[in-house]
Amino acid sequence: MTEKTIKLGKKKKNTFMDKVKEILPEGGNLNLCLTCGACSSGCPATGLENMDPRKFLRMAALGMDDELTSTPWVWMCTMCQRCIYVCPMKIDIPQLVYNARDTWPRETRPKGILGSCDMALKNESGSAMGTSPDDFTFVVEDVLEEYQEAQPEFKDMQAPIDKQGAEFFLNQNSREPVTEPDEMVPLWKILHLVGANWTYGSKGWGGENYCMFLAEDASWKHLVQQSTDQAHELGCKTFLNTE
Ligand code: SF4
Ligand code: SF4
């Protein structure tokens, strides 16, 4: 096994850490780390690419910008925020990771995330699979009809799309209408049995936001806006985010 020697050199001015601190509330708290390791112990990405959240933060504190902005580990972080939850100092490591991702030229970012973000921007569904509003509507209506007929106890079940004045605006995992449409039904059944007044939107129904994982602010915002605009237009009071 070969050991890689890391040269620290002099701490530079205007480091990556400084830039991140500028955008965090009250100057951030990234330099308050106690090195306790609680973040690393619960992080699902610990050990991948020879990195963990505590190490990542220490490297930021040491001004190792080149390493931070080139390690593929940043793409392993799930943005789950578990590290913030357990951190005694509430240090926002995912924000640091997000900003490191943002330094990568777009075309060099992971193809899966990039492609899913581009698909979601393709039409007004916001679907990571690129499914159009018409195709989504067709699948939902088709599956609903099938269950109403096959299971008489659910003959009155509904799966509304663009129902004006519904209480709940529900979004949907993009993959299910395409690859596993039956997987949509259990939630419909629950909503039916509890008598919920709900609807999908024909626009903005896609539940994931790969553009957030891509660290592309404008696209992330666009997808969120598209969904919330539709919820507002339908007069829904509660946004049910399934993703
Ligand atoms: S949990 Fe917080 S204080 Fe502890 S090592 Fe991680 S970032 Fe530092
Ligand atoms: S947000 Fe990222 S760094 Fe923090 S625990 Fe989750 S995967 Fe690990």
Gap from CA of 218 to ligand 2 centroid (Å)? 23
pLDDT of residue 204: 97
Residue 122, CA atoms < 13 Å, CB-side half-sphere? 16
Q: Which of 83, 104, 125 is the endpoint of a domain?
A: 104
Q: Which domain holds residue 179?
A: 111-240
pLDDT of residue 157: 98
Give the SS3 label for residue 168. strand
CA distance 202 to 186: 20
- Determine, yes or no, domain membership for 68: yes
pLDDT along the chain (243 residues), means of 10: 54 68 67 90 97 93 90 97 92 92 96 97 96 98 98 97 98 96 97 98 96 97 97 97 89
Q: Which of 104, 138, 157 is the endpoint of a domain?
A: 104
By alpha-carbon position, which residue is closest to atom 2 of ligand 1?
87
Give the SS3 label for residue 41. helix
pLDDT of residue 1: 45
Q: Which of 104, 133, 167 is the endpoint of a domain?
A: 104
* Total structural domains within the chain: 2
By alpha-carbon position, which residue is closest to atom 2 of ligand 2?
77
CA distance 233 to 203: 11
- Say what the pTM is: 0.86
By alpha-carbon position, which residue is closest to atom 1 of ligand 1?
87
Regarding whether 74 and 37 lie in a shared domain, the answer is: yes
Interval 105-161: pLDDT, tens:
999 999 999 999 999 999 999 999 999 999 999 999 999 999 999 999 999 999 999
